[in-house]
Amino acid sequence: MVEMPEKALKLQCTLAKEKVLSTQSTQLSYLLVEVIPVGAGEAERMPLNISFVLDRSGSMAGEKVANLREAVKLVIDQLEPDDIISIVIFDDRAEVLVPSQPASDKEGLKRLVDKITDRGGTEMSKGMRLGLNELRKNMGRDRVSRMVLLTDGQTFGDEDECIRLAKECQEFGLPIVAFGLGEDWNEELLDEVAGATSSSGGFSEFIQEPSQILMHFQDVLRSMKGTVAKNAYLTLRLVQGVSPRQVWRVLPLISNLGYQPLSDRDVQVPLGDIERDVGQAILVELLIPPRPAGRYRLAQAEVSYDIPSRNISGEKVRTDVIIEYTTDEAAAKQVNAKVMNFVEKATAFRLQTQALAAAKSGDYERATRLLRQSATRLLSIGEKELATVALEEAKRLEQGEGMSSVGTKRLRYETQRLTRRLSEQQGQE
């Protein structure tokens, strides 16, 4: 018998309720699919291809640009000689400060970073275009690539071009991590730019204080270095009568995922890169039909992925999702605590998203109500500070003041991190 090598990923499927009542009606079932990296240690490191696209407009003067320089220099210190780096700086023009190159001459690179000073206006698309060009010079499938975009202001009339370039990045499977610094940037644009690459792992994030740039850049670097598998897809093959209602990503960040129905019974979710220590978790709401008592398969879950460094392409792991229909009412009341926790956090995220949308469309009454309801959920999961922000914003709306820029941004970006144990709690220390 040939011994099979251990697979790099493990799939773990957990239902909120393993046992449900054998009723006459359709029920809602929550399925948590965890993609967990196993084995494969540090030796599996994949070389990186990182491009910084940085706003150096006049508003970046002082503390912001100083912190930015230090954060980029610290990243340079931590790159390996075979990692590729490029740096683009933009105001109303854009220039390639560091053309795509191996990070071997660290001192030389850091001297260039020290030349970043503030000037001019903001035209982000020009910077993005040059960043994409530099990334493409070294974009092998064996490299982990990211565009790290940072801006502190509104771009001047080139929003459509920014979004077009983001879609181009997505075609290359290139995630954009977009950081908005301070209060005066356009979160809808950054969300759309990063969101265009979300299926490859792109996301947007709020940096409130310049001193936090360093920490966020370290996060990006660590996530890139921790990549154990690329080009991952989750496929759920549902049995007859079972249909999907909602698909959420809950780790590493919470987002409402679109899913592609492969057919009326199959659901496919692109996962992008899989990161060591974090993996990914997907929460699926399934509508399940009435059944007589007994054990049934609801679905087969399958994840496929590539590991270019080991020449593995399209490797698959599968597992069955089994549910038991029972007439035992007590047994059908048992809820798995871990799944429940993810459902609650996704609910808090959903309420907050709906509240911001309602506020934007001018329905302040609904927005106020949703903010209060999201505060209830946030309190229940221990996010006291964020709950307070939601309540304060609700009060502002009620008094006709409109939501604050910082409050809106905090709710929007911190709720996506509810499932991560990160430093947002530093204020409590």
Partner 1 sequence: MGIKCPQCGTENLDGALFCDECGASLSDVGAEVEKTEVAPAEVEQAQELPQVAVGRACSSCGHVNPEDARFCENCGAALEEEVKVTPPPPTVMAKLVTSEGVEIELDFGSKSELLIGRADPVSRVFPDVDLTPHGGYEAGVSRRHCIIRYSDGKFSVEDLESTNGTKLNGKFIPPKVPQPLNDGDELILGALVLKFHCK
Residues 334-353 that bind partner 1 (CB under 8 A): 334-338, 340, 343-344, 347-348, 350-351
Interface pick for partner 1 out of 2, 3, 240, 314 (rule CB under 8 A): 240
Out of 93, 295, 360, 395, name the contact with partner 1 by CB under 8 A: 295
State which of residues 276, 409, 410, 412 lies at the interface with partner 1 (CB under 8 A).
276
> Within 13 Å, how many C-alpha atoms sit on residue 186's CB side?
16
The answer to whether residue 187 forms part of the interface with partner 1 (CB under 8 A) is: no
Q: How far is the CB of 424 from partner 1 (least distance, A)?
A: 10
The span of 107-115, 203-211, 238-246, 407-415 binding partner 1 (CB under 8 A) equals 238-246
**DSSP states along 343-412:** HHHHHHHHHHHHHHHHHHTT-HHHHHHHHHHHHHHHHHTT-HHHHHHHHHHHHHHHTT----HHHHHHHH
Q: Which is nearer to partner 1, 20 or 181 (CB)?
A: 20
Kindly tell me which of 130 and 271 has the beta carbon lying closer to partner 1: 271
- Going by C-alpha positions, the residue among 344, 196, 219 that lies closest to residue 270 is 196
Closest to 252 measured CA to CA, from 414, 381, 420: 420
Binding of residue 42 to partner 1 (CB under 8 A): yes
Q: Going by DSSP bridges, is the β-strand pair 84-90/48-55 parallel, antiparallel, or unpaired? A: parallel
Q: Is 255 in the site for partner 1 (CB under 8 A)?
A: no
- For the record, the structure tokens of 328 come out as 């035992």
Q: Nearer Cβ to partner 1, position 66 or 215?
A: 215
- Which member of 93, 119, 137, 384 binds partner 1 (CB under 8 A)? 384
- Binding status of residue 140 toward partner 1 by CB under 8 A: no
CB nearer to partner 1: give 31 or 196.
31
Per CB under 8 A, 367 contacts partner 1:
no
138 by DSSP, 3-state: which?
A: coil
Q: For residue 321, count CB atoms less than 10 angstroms from its CB and return exposed for 0-12, middle for 13-18, buried for 19 or more.
A: buried
Question: Judged by CB under 8 A, which of 287, 312, 391, 406 binds partner 1?
Answer: 287
Q: Which residue among 121, 241, 270, 407 contacts partner 1 (CB under 8 A)?
A: 241
Shortest CB 7 distance to partner 1, Å = 7
How many CB atoms lie under 10 A from the CB of residue 109? Answer: 21
- Asked whether position 5 contacts partner 1 by CB under 8 A, the answer is no
Interface region with partner 1, contact rule CB under 8 A, candidates 80-88, 144-152, 319-327, 411-419: 319-327
Task: Note whether 357 binds partner 1 by CB under 8 A.
Answer: no
Residues forming a β-bridge with 145 = 49
- Nearer CB in complex with partner 1: 290/407: 290
Long-range contacts, stretch 212-218, CB < 8 angstroms, 24+ apart: 213/64, 213/67, 213/68, 213/71, 213/150, 213/179, 213/181, 214/67, 214/70, 214/71, 214/74, 215/423, 216/71, 216/179, 217/71, 217/72, 217/74, 217/75, 217/148, 218/71, 218/74, 218/75
135, 173 Cβ separation under 8 angstroms: no
Which two three-digit tokens encode residue 107?
């001192």
Question: Which of 172, 233, 259, 296 touches partner 1 by CB under 8 A?
Answer: 296
Q: Which two tokens stand for residue 26?
A: 């359709």
User: To the nearest whole angstrom, how small is the minimum distance from the Cβ of residue 339 to partner 1?
Assistant: 9
User: Token pair for residue 270?
Assistant: 């692109």
**396-425 positions binding partner 1, by CB under 8 A:** 421, 423, 425
Taking the least distance from each CB to partner 1, the nearer of 3 and 429 is 429
Supply the minimum distance, in Å, between the C-beta of residue 310 and partner 1. 15
Applying CB under 8 A, does 28 fall inside the site for partner 1?
Answer: yes
CA-CA distance, 193 to 329, in Å (whole number)? Answer: 48
Decide: is 7 part of the binding site for partner 1 (CB under 8 A): yes
Binding mask 200-229 for partner 1 (x = CB under 8 A): ---------------x--xx--x-------
Which among 18, 17, 21 is positioned nearest to 290, based on CA atoms?
21
Q: Which of 27, 211, 268, 404 binds partner 1 (CB under 8 A)?
A: 27
- Nearest approach in angstroms of CB 134 to partner 1 is 27
Angle at which helices 405-414 and 187-195 cross, to 10°: 20
SS3 266: strand
- Strands 227-238 and 266-275, bridge-based pairing: antiparallel
Residues 80-99 close enough to bind partner 1 by CB under 8 A: none
CA nearest neighbour of 392 among 413, 416, 408:
408
